Every structure is written in structure tokens, then in C-alpha cells.
Amino acid sequence: MNIKNSILSTAKKTIDLESSAISNLANLLTDDFSNAVELIYNSKGRVIITGIGKSAIIANKIVATLNSTGTPAVFMHAADAIHGDLGLILQDDVVICISKSGNTPEIKVLVPLIKNANNKMVAITGNIKSFLGQQADYILNAYVEHEACPHNLAPTTSTTAQLVIGDALAICLLELRGFSSKDFAKYHPGGALGKRLYLRVSDLSSVNEKPKVNLTTNVKQIIVEISEKMLGVTAVVEDDKIIGIITDGDLRRMLTKNDAFIHLTAKDIMSSNPKRIDENAMAVDALELMENNGISQLLVEHDGKYAGVVHIHNLIKEGII
């Protein structure tokens, strides 16, 4: 076997092994899981998630997922907790301890301190009979038969299992809270993801020029209007209502069909009933309409009246595409 095939074989074996372990997690779910979710949902406090080593890294990720989906969460490193950070835990907080073995020295020191403060504790552990498992109010079983590491040493499959359980917790809480895409946008205002959820057509069209002509506008004036407004298009408007559109493409087609065109007007070359969108629609809806119709501009309306143009370049600039 050459080196490339050997690499691919190892990668596939790793993926298959972890995927099988993750599938088995569903068989390990008990009432403790639903009870833990209800505990967190009904809590007046936050979720404090702690761990050490690789479990601490997973704890950080679960904290980020919970915070972004409506459940306030804070990370507390297990080693730092017993050297002062225990003050992070407030009276109504729920503590989640993550540990594969459930028997690490730091966990053995930390767990009694949490119990003494009367905070409810949830364990995510691969060993339900461990010290952590015996002390926790609720146990979320993250048992895996074997790490992906060929020596069964490096935390791989086990940390993936912890992560998946954290995701399951977050999604269950999300659904209980009725957390919507609008809520998600509120917590993710930056970047392309947030923009796809909150950016409206008016946010884009308002920065553009507003090219328009009427039915009797001659070809020369039409060319000037399209060139000056730099959107490759103009609306044909009558009484503030959109009745047609003229694009760069329409002008090119007109030139190929007519040797003499000075006498032509907008009425002769426009396309009737153009695609349009309301200015309050989401920017992603404008993108979908453009993609479905193979166009790069949309005329925008407000209360049925012409309000401007949104161009595919606006969507690209904002990172929607």
C-alpha cells in the first residue's frame, strides 16, 4: 500500500470509528438528559461549564454554542476554579462538569466544593461509576469504546462524544425557548451569517442611485440615464409605478436589430412586467429571485411605487453571496 492510500485508509477508519461511537450515544440517553435540560431551562442562573485538558476545550465550545442560542453560559477551568475562580459560580447557576474518566485529581477536589454550595451539577462523563458520576445530580453518558488514537490514548472519539452531547443540550434548549432565526440574528449581527438573517433590500437599494425614465424618453437619454446611474439598468416609470425595465442587454439587442434608432423611445425597447421586490423583503430573498431568474438587478418597490434598484454587486459586497 502506498503512502497516499495508507493516509486515506487511516482517515476513513478514524471517521468510521468516531461516527459509530456518536451513533451509539443515542442508546445511552436516559431521563437524566431530559431532566438536565429542564433544570437548565427553568434555572434563573447561568450554566457554568468546567473541565480540564481537552475536556476544557470542549467546554469552551459548548459555552459558545449555548450563548449563541439563548442560554447564558460561562467557562470555568477546573484547575483555576480551585485557585480562586470558584467565585464565578453564583447561587442559581447550574454547573456542568466534563471529564472522560470522572476521576481526575482536579475534579475530585472541585466537585465537593460545588456540592457544598448547593449548586445542581450535571456530569458529562464516559465513566458513570466514577467519582464525578456518583456525585452528580444528573449524568450524561459519553462513553466510547475506543479512542480513534491507535494507542487508545489521545482524546479523540471521547471529546467528539462530549461535543455532540453539548450540541444536543443546546438544541433542546433552543427549541424549548422557541429561539428563532430573528433571535439568532440578534446574537450574530456581524459577518455574512448575521447579514443573511437581518439585512433587508432597503439597506442595499438605499445606497444606490435611482435610475428612471418614462415611456417617451428617447434612446439617447436612456443611455445617459443608465450610464450616469451606473447600475446597468433603468426603470420605466409612469405615475411612480413601474411599468417596464431597460437593461444594458436591451440596448445591445436594440442596436443589433435597428440601423436607425434615434426615433425609438423607452416604450419601444423596454421589457414589460419586470421582476421586482418590496424594499422590506430580506436581502436573501432578493438573491434567490435573481438566481432563479438569471438576472443581476431587481427593481425595488415601496407601497407599490418605484423605490430604487438592488444589484447583485450589493449582495456580493455585503457577503450575502
Yes or no: say if 48 and 89 are a contact pair by the CB < 8 Å rule.
yes
Q: Is 83 annotated as a binding residue?
A: yes
Spatial neighbors of 233 by CB under 8 A, at least 6 apart, are: 211, 226, 245, 246, 247, 248, 297, 299, 309
Strand order of the β-sheet with 297-302 is: 276-278, 297-302, 305-311
Question: SS3 for 166?
Answer: helix
Yes or no: say if 154 and 14 are a contact pair by the CB < 8 Å rule.
no
Give CA angle at 228 (223, 231), nearest 5°.
Answer: 85
Question: SS3 for 17?
Answer: helix
Strand order of the β-sheet with 121-125 is: 73-77, 47-51, 94-99, 121-125, 138-141
Binding site members for Zn(2+):
77
List residues forming the annotated binding site.
77, 83, 216, 268
Binding-site members for substrate are 77, 83, 216, 268
